[in-house]
Structure 1
């Protein structure tokens, strides 16, 4: 019998939270999970995942001989909601049954955060590494052998610069705890590396990469049929060299998406440990081993692996390229240009941001319809966060630079946020006799706007109208209002400048001169949309010249026909609110040899408005959140 090594890593990400960004109060809204045959009730979507008997119990119960990372904020909440599971995790880590991997505070897309403000990114890294060294690494690292630590880059979002900063800060913190010349293990997807068929290698000296098999990993994440998963595992075990890497969101293993997944995986691993028969008659079985053990064995024999810059493990978006084979929902490509799923940017040409279209099914009323929405809202969301976080950063750092110990206080503020140290005591230790309310307000505003709001998830999804966008915007708005109040109480007139920015960027979203200037740098790629409609509808669009452009009924009828024929592969009608009649009318006039620039402007305005307010509600979510937090202003 042949034995092959399988390493498995689990990424525990921040559960869904709906927060008032000024009061930091969690919304209580009843939530339910079924895990195995257990029904768990919780205060909200965050609480129910962490509650006793729920998803994280399953994760921790089955993490022996594996590695895991859990975000600092999530670990803090786990201790609060489910102390027994938290203590069980600590016991497994300290006894060596499980290897703990560090990860970033607040789950940012690291390269994006770095490009917005490198100082904030370095603070994020320092908070994160300090937290994991304080809780885990100072106890489990052997100072007499090569110290090895692990790091999960959220969404495996990789650039060389972000990797180098991560390693630099890891070394800096390690030295504070008495460790020198550490080795770092990163985790990436096999589609992110140039050399295939390798599961471990060096990116550079002392930076190691563990590479997952994406087909194997996705089988566990997205398939709930045991026979299908087993078939893929059998193919890999029979044809791929050992060791083999597999990793997913930890919640996949815990039953968050499928209550029966823990049972399915129990059967799967039992079969794989007994062995499977290959086509040549050989029997192959797996042996689970922690990645840290494999690396220690192979450290002197690892080869260099080249990693593609600007890649992640899930940056895939539907494309409207009419030349691609297959239906719209199978034509998935990796753009590879600065993380489009989280930035909304397809590519940049001559300083103009090219956006793409998000195509997805949504239940509207009593039926499923196809949505076609531009990604421009993602670009705008990131601009909101960058503009306001940099303004908050400048003022907070200005205050801290005036007093001795200010920069050290900012670096150590993670102790208040993550392990519950007394804020007043920490401020007094570093700053002495200062106005406590002022510096407390500054630090809270900084952590909310410049750190907490950088959670990646808001832009992962399709529409700006989702709860994760609400949470991130709430942290931005609430933290900014807190800064305005703090400056006002301190007699610092800069509160007026921050309030002006709040009104321009949030309250008057899409109406102020700030946004008018912004939209001039955005290309909504209507030409790409029309090219797709024209080719995929398979209609000879010469007939457009025979349509009367003044007959609104006929123009609307033609527009609906063209859109629905172009996207007929979806099996659902296109949502009428996404059909750009102005674009079709413009093409009718062009076919007749006429042209009207005002129609082009209307077509662009239609796409922009639909992007930032896809259901055409009374107010878009940015304004709603801004108005809600505006009520907390204490200035006069």
Structure 2
């Protein structure tokens, strides 16, 4: 007899264009993009202020769908996404949490902000896993005795990433009562194509060839594609499952594949009924006592370009712009023209440099103040600021208001060694940097998108916060150095080619690393409003007109500083108020 499990991944990157709250200790405010769009789901017309808003307003359907197809699927919803859902649709939030609590849906964790974890420094990986465990801690306590899953963003895997997860679970077992067993018995969700050795048919479960032999369930890629994109009926899908013989199978997709239209939801319910009627057990993922050992390939993912697989294994080329197999720059077709992906490599380098500078500066401030175990303390500050930022979620889960008070937590963590205002800017800047590590900009082939704009806004704001912390700590020189870094990364991003950053590269096609290809990839997609590339446009928009950088330097300025960007190709089916570009209307 066969078993089949479904998994759905819920995540929306957001539409942040500004961070107007000057005080890091107060409740935080964001400026959201105003680009009205309508999504049609069958006869329903769902309006949103922006893409994120519209999609989140479809999530209210999920609770009822999971209830009717009870115990058939696990679901992960990224922390920021779940918190935004609470703001927009409290009843949908409560339904999802209730589905976890009663076991209608299997509970799977995922780190906040959806970064490609293997690309990050260990310090940031552990901070994100710490924040993840803390965010889900109320659910973890109520899920004792039930399987708990872990989904790495884009399923992008590395052994070092799992070592960071183990470090965070070890620390959480010391800091949180009643969660040790659940965390230690967690299973990983991945893709069968990520395995070093192709899995045997019907072998969804493996044990990783690591010291802790972590269980993992790997999806059937073709069956998952048939569910998400196919037009098969329920009986045809069931026949496809039966045709694979006996075994265990996983179908895993983005949550939008379930909520795209009411017919898809009905199709899902019909598929579950057809499978169960055909003697297939449709159950939430539950690790078996025994499973064959296997290894996942480092830097493999589940959503790389299908035409650039190395030996059938999807890597992280989509996010680096470089073939993992030989390091060559690739190109993609964007709006009927080839576009060099060299910009992705450059954007990766730029964000790494900002990440490194912010981490080092934060640790320097703590170390200079005499804070012991400063790397661990920085992780604790990130968790405390995460509670401050996600406070509505924690309050909804019954956490007392004082437990989300960053000022109170910072005093306890730092023991009064760091001025509270300095600690506030340091912690907010560090968390803003983590927010700016989202994978979304590099998922798409063109840089001029709302998600690239958002990342640059967040990273620019993070640099400014660390500069302000430096100024308050009487280190104006460090504040100026962070200003120079902003200049060298995002404000002068288009100059990287002439600076010789890519001189050592060869490319798949001769033109891909040429100056012409570089500038073509950075062309503004809103030239009627601004000639500036999206990196410079976003950084200048984040800084705001006029004013001074912490330490007294004047802010740079330029004409054409707008938050408008090109549309994302994958969002073209939305009925946009402005179909020509992704605007940001006043008001």
- Give the CA deviation at 1:207: 0.3
Matches within 5 A, 1:242-321: 242-255=247-260, 258=261, 260-275=263-278, 285-292=279-286, 295=287, 298-299=288-289, 301-316=290-305, 318=307
Higher relative contact order (CA 8 A, sep 6+): 2
Q: Which runs of 5+ in 2 are unaligned?
A: 22-29, 393-403, 553-587
Spell out the pairing of 1:121-270 with structure 2 (5 A cutoff).
Answer: 121-132=125-136, 134-142=137-145, 148-178=147-177, 179-180=179-180, 182-193=184-195, 194=197, 195-197=199-201, 198-203=203-208, 204=210, 205-223=212-230, 225-227=231-233, 230-255=235-260, 258=261, 260-270=263-273
Distance 1:63 1:274, change over 3 A: closer
Q: TM-score, normalised by structure 2?
A: 0.80
Give the Å deviation of 1:34: 2.5
User: Would you say how many aligned residue pairs link Structure 1 and Structure 2?
Assistant: 510
Please say which of residues 190-199 and 607-616 is displaced more in the overlay.
Answer: 607-616
Question: 2:361: which partner in 1?
Answer: 395
Structure 1 partner of 2:451? 468
1:354 corresponds in structure 2 to: 328
Show the counterpart of 2:391.
419
Aligned-partner Cα distance in 2 for 1:88–1:630: 39
Matches within 5 A, 1:2-17: 4-17=2-15
Partner residue in 2 for 1:571? none
CA deviation map 1:241-260 (0-9, x unaligned): 232211111121012xx453
Displacement of 1:311 after TM fit?
Answer: 1.0
Where 2:150 maps in the other structure, the secondary structure is strand
Tell me how far 1:432 sits from its aligned partner: 4.8
Paired residues of 1:358 and 1:374 also in contact (CA < 8 A): yes
**Secondary structure, aligned partner of 1:107:** coil
Pick the structure with greater CA Rg: 1
Deviations 1:589-618 (A, max 9, x none): xxxxxxxxxxxxxx8211111122275942
> Does the residue aligned with 2:293 lie in a helix, a strand or coil?
coil
Is 1:497 aligned to residue 481 of structure 2? yes
1:58–1:253: 8 Å Cα contact kept in structure 2? no
Output the CA distance in 1 between the equivalents of 2:238 and 2:351.
42
5+ residue gaps, structure 1: 276-284, 320-331, 363-369, 530-602
Deviation at 1:75, TM superposition (A): 1.4
CA distance change for structure 1 residues 436 and 164 in 2, over 3 Å: closer, same or farther? closer
SS in 1 for 2:6: strand
- Change in Cα spacing, 1:58 to 1:379, as seen in structure 2 (3 Å) is farther
Match of 1:34 among 18, 40, 46: 40
Further displaced range: 503-512 or 104-113 = 503-512
1:626 is aligned, of 527, 539, 559, to 539
The structural deviation recorded for 1:54 is: 4.8
Q: Against the structure 1 CA distance between its residues 220 and 35, is the aligned structure 2 distance closer, same or farther, given a 3 Å change threshold?
A: same
After superposing the two structures, state which structure 1 stretch, 102-111 or 61-70, moved more: 61-70
Q: Which residue of 2 aligns with 1:79?
A: 86
Contact 2:207 2:215 in 1 (8 A): yes
Counterpart contact for 2:66–2:104, Cα < 8 Å: no
More strand per residue: 1 or 2? 1
- In structure 2, the CA distance between the partners of 1:49 and 1:527, relative to structure 1 (3 Å rule), is closer
Cα pair 1:315 1:340 within 8 Å, conserved = yes
Q: In the alignment, does 2:470 pair up with 1:487?
A: yes
- Is 1:378 the counterpart of 2:344 in the alignment? yes
1:256-293 CA-to-partner distances (Å, cap 9, x unmatched) read xx453213323333333333xxxxxxxxx33321112x
**SS of alignment partner, residue 354 of structure 2:** helix
Task: Sort the Cα spacing of 1:64 and 1:400 in 2 relative to 1 into closer, same or farther, 3 A.
Answer: farther
Once residues 245 and 252 of structure 1 are traced to their aligned partners in structure 2, the CA distance between those partners, rounded to angstroms, is 15
Once the two structures are TM-superposed, the CA of residue 445 in structure 1 deviates from its matched residue by 0.9
Please report how far the alpha carbon of residue 62 of structure 1 lies from its aligned counterpart in structure 2 after TM superposition.
Answer: 5.4
**TM-score in terms of structure 1 length:** 0.74
Kept in 1: contact 2:303–2:314 (CA 8 A): no
* Correspondence list, 1:537-556, <5 A: none
2:80–2:390: 8 Å Cα contact kept in structure 1? yes
Are the counterparts in 1 of residues 456 and 538 from structure 2 also a CA contact under 8 Å?
yes
Call closer, same or farther: CA 1:317–1:206 in 2, change over 3 Å: closer
Distance between the aligned counterparts of 2:532 and 2:131, measured in 1?
A: 37
Where is the helix percentage greater, Structure 1 or Structure 2? 1
